[in-house]
Amino acid sequence: MSNDCISHALLGRWILDINYAEIAGTYDEWRSYSADLIRFVCGKGRIDGAANTLEIGCGTGNLGSAIREHTGADVTGIDLSLPMLIRAARKSIRPVCASLDGFNLPFRGDSFDAIIGAYVVHYISDLTRLFSECRRVLRNGAIIILTSSHEQIEKHHPVLREFFHGFLQIEKKRFPEINEIASFMERAGFRDIERHEIFLEKFLIDRTYLKKVEARFVSTYRLLTQEEFDLGVKRLTRFIEDSPEPVSREWRATLIIGRKNAVITHAGQKM
C-alpha cells in the first residue's frame, strides 16, 4: 500500500483503504471552519500566540491554519498523505509525514501545548495508543477532537441520509461513538473530559454542490459501489431539479476535550 493510502480497522473488523492523493486537490472545498468555532477551540485549548500546537490527521491543514491565523500559534501537522501535507505546508503548517495508527508519534515528550484533530479518530484502530502518545507529547495542555456522533450522522448528514441510503450504516460503523472516544481518552490518562455539540455549517444543495458530489470530492463517496453512487446522484439530481429554490441542510458535530492535568483557578479550585 502506498503512503497516500490510509488503512483503518475499526474493532478489528472494519477495514478501509482510501487514496487521499485523488482528493487532495478538492479537499479544501469541504473542510472549512467558522470563526466562532476557531475561537471556541482556541479558548478551550488555551491556544494563543505562544502555544506550540499539533494537528493530528491534518489533511491540507485547514483547521491548523485557521488557528494559526487567529492566534499566531506555531502549528505542526501530521498526516500520512504527502499530497495533503504539501498543501498544508503552503499554509505555514510544519508538515510531518507519519502514520498515527499503532505507532509512536515522532516527537519528544512534552513537545506541545495543545493537540487538535478533526474527523480523524474513525481512521484509528488503536485509540488508546494514539491518545497515550498524545498525552506523552503534551506538556500540560488539552487535546480537542472534532467528530460526529451516530445520532448526528443519522439526523443531520446533509446529503447521505437522504440520497445515498446504504451509506448511513457504513458511516456509523466507521465512526466510534462519543462515549467510546471519551473512554479511550480516560484510559490514556486524560481528565476532565468535556463534550460539546456544535453547529458546523449550512450546505446549500444546488447544482454547484451536485458537481462536487459527482467528483466524489470527499472520501465517503468513494466507499460506495458504482451502482449505489450512481443511484444516489440520480436521487440528488432529481431533488435539486424539483426544488423551486435551493434547499439548505445543516451539519452538526461534537467536540471532545480532555486535559493532561486538571485546570486550577487562582482560587485553587479545579475547573
With beta carbons less than 8 A apart as the criterion, state whether 141 and 50 touch: no
- For cell 453547529, the residue is 199
Q: What's the whole-number mean pLDDT along residues 80-94?
A: 93
Pick 8 or 251 by higher pLDDT.
251
Mean pLDDT score of the chain: 85
pLDDT at 21: 58
Predicted confidence band of residue 223 (pLDDT cuts 50, 70, 90): confident
Predicted confidence band of residue 10 (pLDDT cuts 50, 70, 90): very low
Residues 6+ apart with CB under 8 A from 151: none
* pTM (2 d.p.): 0.84
- For cell 499566531, the residue is 72
In order of 74, 79, 127, 146, 211, the CA distances from 26 in angstroms are: 25, 17, 28, 21, 12
Portion of the chain with pLDDT greater than 70, in percent? 85
Strand partners, 14: 10
Q: Which long-range contacts (CB under 8 A, 24 or more apart) does 233-240 make?
A: 233/163, 235/162, 235/163, 235/164, 236/159, 236/163, 236/205, 236/210, 237/210, 239/162, 239/163, 239/205, 240/205, 240/206, 240/207, 240/210
Q: What's the whole-number mean pLDDT along residues 48-66?
A: 95
Burial of 56 (0-12, 13-18, 19+ CB in 10 A): buried
Q: What's the whole-number mean pLDDT along residues 164-178?
A: 86
Structural domains in the chain, CATH included, are 5-149+171-201+251-259 (3.40.50.150)
Predicted confidence band of residue 12 (pLDDT cuts 50, 70, 90): very low
What is the per-residue pLDDT across 97-119, written as a single tens digit (0 to 9) for each?
999 998 999 999 999 999 999 99
Predicted confidence band of residue 165 (pLDDT cuts 50, 70, 90): confident
pLDDT at 153: 86
Cα separation, 218 vs 184, whole angstroms: 27
pLDDT at 265: 42
Pick 58 or 16 by higher pLDDT.
58
What is the per-residue pLDDT across 121-162, written as a single tens digit (0 to 9) for each?
998 999 999 999 999 999 999 999 999 999 998 887 767 778
What is the per-residue pLDDT across 255-265, written as a single tens digit (0 to 9) for each?
999 999 855 44
Cα separation, 144 vs 42, whole angstroms: 10
pLDDT at 269: 47
Identity of the amino acid at 69: E
